Amino acid sequence: MPPSTITVGVLALQGGVVEHIALLNRASASYPSVTFHFLEVRTPEQLSLCDALIIPGGESTTMAIVARRLGLLEPLREFVKINNKPVWGTCAGLVMLAEEASATKQGGQELIGGLDVRVLRNKFGTQVQSFVADLNLDFLGEGEGPFRGVFIRAPVVEEVIDGDGKVKVLGTVKKPGEEEDIVAVRQGNVFGTSFHPELTGDVRVHAWWLGNVVEALGQGGEGKGLVVGKGKGDAGKVY
């Protein structure tokens, strides 16, 4: 049985913290048997209270520097890679959760890791080249229709580096005249998206992720990973 109370943190160093919490509150209505607490996380002590975590967008180099100064970087790595708690990173959060990153600033940047991928920062250019695209996200379920993805200085996954199938590609985007890019991936307890679901009115990705959190914690919590959504006839296998 899932726990009756779950605390979900949103790393509050940069980005759409308020927007994520607003959609989480709406999404939580899908799980009336669970009481959710949503917490802005700025300290290791606040992180220790969390059962799951969202790392929002922003500027990944700055986020890493601030996390280091606040004593959060090592606790975040422990949260993701040792305690194996459910984590979702959007845009810069995806960069932070990658094991490798390209096009970093001079001197590189520190990463949390957890996803065996290499990401390319700012794949689509500057702020003025931001765009919106319809995404077919099968994990949301059949017949749900496309999800409107908001891409702002977005990264993409340019290479899966694990080589043994642990990383699951959950979403792609293709701009006219360009090759298809990977924009949503999952590996065990870690989920990452290049786009910003929190900047839409569409609650579906947040509801799907909260469902995975409930399922993962209900099956023993640490080390159980995320559950694949039940779209395309998937029975909800735990990886």
Choosing from 91, 158, 206, 215, which is the catalytic residue?
Answer: 91
CA distance readout (Å), 61 to 48, 64, 92, 103, 181: 23, 5, 9, 11, 22
Strand blocks (E) in the chain: 5-11, 35-41, 52-55, 87-90, 98-102, 115-120, 131-135, 147-151, 156-160, 168-173, 181-187, 190-193
The DSSP bridge partners found for residue 133 are 149
Q: For residue 43, which phi and psi values (nearest 5 degrees)?
A: -135, 160
Active-site residue identified among 19, 198, 206, 215: 198
| Whether 198 is catalytic | yes
206 is catalytic: no
CA distances from 153 to 92, 110, 221 (A): 9, 19, 34
Cα torsion 199, 51, 65, 116: sign:
negative
Could you confirm whether 50 is annotated as catalytic?
no
Residues designated catalytic: 91, 196, 198
